[in-house]
Structure 1
Amino acid sequence: MTPPRGARNHTVVADDGTLLRGWNWEPAEPRGVVIIRTPYGAWRHGDTARAWTSRGYRCVIHDVRGRHSSDGEWHPYLLECGDGRAVAEAVRAEDPGLPLVLSGGSYAAHTALEAARVVDVDGLVLLVPALGLAETAWDENGRPQLRDRIGWWHQHGRGARSLAPLTDDELAARIERTTAVGVHRAAEEWGWSQEVLSGWRRLWSAPAVDLERAYGAIRAALFLVRGDHDFFFADAARLADAWQGAVHMVDGPWGHRLAADIDDDEVRSRLRRAGGIGGVLDTWLADNGLPSERSGPVSPSASAPRERDLPVIRRTRSAFEPETGRWRYERTA
């Protein structure tokens, strides 16, 4: 594959010998490192990588196991802890003196959280996180999220490459059939392999993630973006409540695709004029001693885990007001 603009190949060997591949974007003088692991094609994230390199970060974006350029078999939400540790430890060994941030949106937020369970990091930047199988299958009221799950598993849940999405009519027909005969029997009529059907059954029977047990030992600062119209809105709040380190929540009138889901052109313009989410991120990075567009070089001591001198746990929030085009800052705890 032709490398994305400004990128070079990056490969890590997982514990079982599987080759995990992705791309590396690097500024002339890196001041930090950020890792993103995604099932949606690492090469597609060039704009995200360049946004990080503009802040002084070396940005490593990998395909998760079994997707796109990475070897192995694709099993959503099952193997991200060990693979995330392998990638993070390899990248840290390449730049041992730099602060390490894990980032990602949706499924990639899950991969970042799983890696942070077993690797000391300096910060996490998570957007509209998909926390686990059960959290994607059911809403906060226990109702099945049929439209989103049927669509996602058809497009992304089967094989190394994503397929074209279902048409609106095809998706509506599958939802109707699923409502009539159940999620398992309906899926058996869609021509899916037994392996995919096994994953589909696991989706609907998986327990919810025990957030305190899974992530309660993590002390890194968390920058957490959710959207008023995102189907994972409540899950982001649960994650913030369970987090033991400092959390900065970012709220606004968007959905799962962030600003791309804002239909009002004027509101989008106001968000851009207010600096967007990126402006809030820069402030948070600088406040936590991490490289940003507003900060100078980070001293070597700042790259070490800061658990011993953590401040009193803080909960803060930035909320974008579409009517005024301003960010409102709050200290919530």
Structure 2
Amino acid sequence: MTVPPDAREHTVGADDGTELRGLLWTSDDPRALVVIRTPYDASRHESIGRAWASRGYECLVQDVRGRYRSDGAWLPYRHESADGRAALDAVTRIRPGLPVVVYGASYAAHTALEAARASRAPVAAVIVAVPVLGPAETTVDANGVRQIRHRIGWWHEHGHTRTAQGPLSDVELDARTAVAATDVSAAADAWGWPEPTRRAWRELWAAAPVDVSRRFADVRAPLLVLSGAYDFFDHDARRLAREWTGPSHFAVGPWGHRIGSGSGAVIDPWLTAHGLPGTPDRWTSILCPEHPTTSTFDAAADEWRHERTVP
């Protein structure tokens, strides 16, 4: 958990007094702020922090509660609304009056969405990649098939310890999956997880899917969703863009959970189109607040195609 030379440590007090820590990348002439909240170690986001700072943003990358630098107990999905609100309050105190963007990929996309929903003041924009909408969306695929093996693997590595653990062997993962196939809720009782984690595991399998239009009804900020056509969460990413209350733009390419290179070719013009620091491009003229719009990366032509279409 080293501090990169161009960042400084930053601490936020949550509503209950828990100290949430992260790293702040500053800009010589900041024109906006961006907040990223992650369970995967803020110091591993060095290149992202620098990229945002180069655009003219002050960038806070914060470890979520109970992970890496941050105090408190780590319970996935439990505190992201209130803690996200506290993070946004803190950055606006640093630079009052500057627009705030929330950004994140995978679980960090969940934290970004929850922060936008809970914010005391409207955020300027929401950018999410391969988004996890909520716990229920991680448990089944687009066809409703339960993803027991994948969930066991993630919760073993990331779900109940301050830092990431090494992955289970294929043999052990197969054995645990076989046991969980009989009773997935009770299976974790034999895996040595602490009781709060076992309780969170049981709640995971009972969780209801996120109703996008209801949960984010009061968030009118423009939304940019980046997805991969072969990503597990692609169908949820499309649903998010389609059902978002405010303006939304959906960008997809032929990749999986790791977004392919060139996403900046969409992010920067999109930011500019919404009055935020970025790089303009002619294609942003297709953006329309009345309905979702779409960008698709054509790998054969090595170019993005932009359309006024619903994803």
Question: What is the SS of the residue equivalent to 2:229?
Answer: coil
Listed one character per residue, the Cα deviations across residues 275-325 of structure 1 (whole Å, up to 9, x for unaligned) are x01111111011111001459xxxxxxxxxxxxxx9742311110011221
158, 168, 183: which one aligns with 1:166: 168
List gaps (5 residues or longer) in structure 1.
Answer: 260-271, 296-309
291, 295, 302: which one aligns with 1:314: 291
Question: What is the SS of the residue equivalent to 1:117?
Answer: helix
Residue number in structure 2 paired with 1:25: 25
Counting aligned pairs with the same residue, the percent is 50
Listed one character per residue, the Cα deviations across residues 104-158 of structure 1 (whole Å, up to 9, x for unaligned) are 0011111111111122100011000001111111223222112221111000001
Number of residue pairs matched by the alignment: 303
Contact kept in structure 2, 1:110 and 1:130, CA below 8 Å:
yes
Residue number in structure 2 paired with 1:205: 206
User: 1:159, 1:312 → 2: CA distance?
Assistant: 42
User: 2:59, 2:69 → 1: CA distance?
Assistant: 17
Residue number in structure 1 paired with 2:307: 330
Q: Cα distance, 1:235 vs. partner? A: 0.8
Contact kept in structure 1, 2:189 and 2:198, CA below 8 Å:
yes
TM-score by length of 1: 0.87
List gaps (5 residues or longer) in structure 2.
Answer: 282-286
Alignment of 1:161-200 (within 5 A): 161-179=163-181, 181-200=182-201
148, 154, 157: which one aligns with 1:155: 157
Contact kept in structure 2, 1:54 and 1:293, CA below 8 Å:
no
Q: 1:277 corresponds to which letter in structure 2?
A: S
Whether 1:227 aligns to 2:228 is yes
Alignment of 1:1-333 (within 5 A): 2-119=2-119, 120-179=122-181, 181-259=182-260, 276-294=262-280, 312-332=289-309
Q: Cα distance, 1:192 vs. partner? A: 1.7
Question: What is the SS of the residue equivalent to 2:256?
Answer: coil
User: 2:300, 2:149 → 1: CA distance?
Assistant: 31
User: 1:118, 1:197 → 2: CA distance?
Assistant: 27
Residue number in structure 1 paired with 2:284: none
User: 1:173, 1:5 → 2: CA distance?
Assistant: 44
User: 1:311, 1:284 → 2: CA distance?
Assistant: 12
Q: 1:89 corresponds to which letter in structure 2?
A: D
TM-score by length of 2: 0.93
Q: Cα distance, 1:161 vs. partner? A: 1.4
Give the direction of change, closer, same or farther, for the CA distance of 1:187–1:2 in structure 2 (3 Å limit). closer
Contact kept in structure 1, 2:273 and 2:280, CA below 8 Å:
no
Contact kept in structure 2, 1:36 and 1:112, CA below 8 Å:
yes
User: 2:288, 2:165 → 1: CA distance?
Assistant: 46
Question: What is the SS of the residue equivalent to 1:226?
Answer: strand
Listed one character per residue, the Cα deviations across residues 59-97 of structure 1 (whole Å, up to 9, x for unaligned) are 001011111111111111111111111110110111112
Give the structure, 1 or 2, with the largest relative contact order (CA under 8 Å, sep 6 or more): 1
Contact kept in structure 2, 1:24 and 1:58, CA below 8 Å:
yes
Q: Cα distance, 1:9 vs. partner? A: 0.7
Q: 1:92 corresponds to which letter in structure 2?
A: T
Show structure 1 runs of 4+ deviating over 3 A. none
Q: 1:331 corresponds to which letter in structure 2?
A: R
Aligned CA-pair RMSD: 1.7
Q: Cα distance, 1:102 vs. partner? A: 0.3
User: 1:185, 1:245 → 2: CA distance?
Assistant: 41
User: 2:5, 2:175 → 1: CA distance?
Assistant: 41
Q: 1:13 corresponds to which letter in structure 2?
A: G
Listed one character per residue, the Cα deviations across residues 185-216 of structure 1 (whole Å, up to 9, x for unaligned) are 43222222222111110100111112111101
